[in-house]
Amino acid sequence: MESLCVRVPREEGEETRQRLADEGVLNRDLRIQQEDGYLYVPVTDVPDGIGFDTERREFEERETQTDAADVLGYEPRFETVGDVALLEPEEDDEAGEALVEADNGIVTALRVESKVEGDERTRRMSHVAGEEKTTTVHREYGREFVVDLTDVYFTPRLAEERERVASQVNGGETVFDMFAGVGPFAVAAAERGAHVVASDINTRAVELLRENAERNNVSERVEAYNEDAREVAKLVAEEGGADRVYMNLPHTADEFLDAACEAARSGCVVHYYDIRHEDDLFGGAVKEIRAVAEKAGYEIEILDKVVVRSYAPYDYNVCIDFRLF
C-alpha cells in the first residue's frame, strides 16, 4: 500500500526509526524498505521542522503479532542488543529470518561466530537476516548506549550488576573504570554524580564511550583515555586517587590488582570481577587480592561476594567488593 515515508542514509536508519517512534509517527503496520544505501521509513505524518526528505512509496504490509517461536516451532537461542538479535552459533538462518519477520522490534539478525576473544574482548559475527548493520542503540535502566557489536565488547546480561554497583556510588566520588568498554558502568556512575576516569585500549570503544557520555548528558563528568589501564592508574594517583575502582576484566583482572592499588586512596572500594569454578567461587580470589594489597601496604575488608551469572558449565562470573585501607 502507498504511504508517506522519510528517506535517510542507511547508517542513520536506527536513530531515525527511534526518533520517529518517539514522535509517535512511525507506521508500524508497514515494512521499512532498503534501496541503494537508503532506508525508506513509512510514517503516518511528518512533524514540523523534523528535517527529513519525504516522499510517497508503495510498502508491503507487516503481518501482525507474529512470534518467531510460532513460525519456527521451537524457541530460537539468541540475545537482543538494541534492535539486533545475536543468534547462538548453532542456530540456522531460518531462526534469524523469523526473528526479523516477527513483531518484536528486531531489524537485524547476526550469528555469533566466535567466543569473546583477544585483549579487546570482541566476538566475530556474520549477517543472517534484515538490515546489514553491526551498530545499534541499546537501552538499559533509562540510559542509552551506542554499541558496535563486532568492534567492542558489550553484554546486556550485566545490566542488573551494573545497577547494583552504581547504586553504591555517592555524588562527588572519583571513580576509576579501568576496563570501561562503551561506558555502561562509567555512565551509570557519572549519573550518580561521580567524576569518572575511564580507560580502554580499544579505540572504537573509547570513541563510543565519549559518544555515550554525551548522549546521556554526563560528558562533563567522564574523562576517557584510550590507554592501558596501568598508565591511567598513574594519572589517577597523581590527581589524588580514586574512591572507587571498577575492574571488569574477568580472567585477567588479577594482573591489574597492583595498578588498582596504585590508583586507590585509602578507603577506596574496588569491584573486582573474575571467572571462578563452582568448587572455589571466592576463596582463591580473596587470597590473591589480599597478597597484592599487602604488598602495596594496604589491608582489605571484604564487603560483598556476588555470583553475577553463570558463565560456562561449572564456572561463574563473580564479583568481590572490597575496601582498601
Ligand X SMILES: C[S@@+](CC[C@H](N)C(=O)[O-])C[C@H]1O[C@@H](n2cnc3c(N)ncnc32)[C@H](O)[C@@H]1O
Residues lying near ligand X in the complex (CB under 6 A) are found at 119-121, 153-154, 158, 179-181, 184-185, 199-202, 205, 228-229, 248-249
Q: How far apart are CA 65 and CA 41, in angstroms?
A: 20
DSSP states of 205-257: HHHHHHHHHHHTT-GGGEEEE-S-HHHHHHHHHHTT-EEEEEE--TTTGGGGH
The answer to whether 21 and 12 are in contact (CB under 8 A) is: no
Return the exposure string of 95-130: e unless at least 16 CB atoms fall within 10 Å of the residue's CB, then b: bbbbbbbbeeebbbbbbbeeeeeeebbbbebeebbb
CB atoms within 10 A of CB 53: 11
Q: Which is nearer to ligand X, 59 or 179 (CB)?
A: 179
Shortest distance, position 60 Cβ to ligand X, whole Å: 37
Q: Which is nearer to ligand X, 153 or 176 (CB)?
A: 153
Shortest distance, position 248 Cβ to ligand X, whole Å: 4
Could you tell me the three cell numbers for 12? Answer: 542513520
Q: Which is nearer to ligand X, 41 or 318 (CB)?
A: 318
Beta strands in 10-62 (DSSP E): 33-35, 38-42, 53-58
Shortest distance, position 200 Cβ to ligand X, whole Å: 4
**Helix/strand/coil for 10:** helix
Q: Which is nearer to ligand X, 195 or 271 (CB)?
A: 271
Q: Which is nearer to ligand X, 20 or 249 (CB)?
A: 249
Q: Which is nearer to ligand X, 16 or 155 (CB)?
A: 155
Shortest distance, position 164 Cβ to ligand X, whole Å: 13
Closest residue to ligand X, judged by C-beta, is 181
Q: Which is nearer to ligand X, 38 or 311 (CB)?
A: 311
Shortest distance, position 249 Cβ to ligand X, whole Å: 5
Could you tell me the three cell numbers for 323? Answer: 575496601
**Helix/strand/coil for 147:** strand
Alpha-carbon dihedral sign for residues 307, 308, 314, 315: negative
Shortest distance, position 184 Cβ to ligand X, whole Å: 5
CB atoms within 10 A of CB 286: 15
Shortest distance, position 52 Cβ to ligand X, whole Å: 32
Q: Which is nearer to ligand X, 158 or 263 (CB)?
A: 158
Shortest distance, position 194 Cβ to ligand X, whole Å: 15
Nearest to 219 by CA among 207, 234, 230, 228: 207
Nearest to 273 by CA among 252, 250, 255, 251: 250
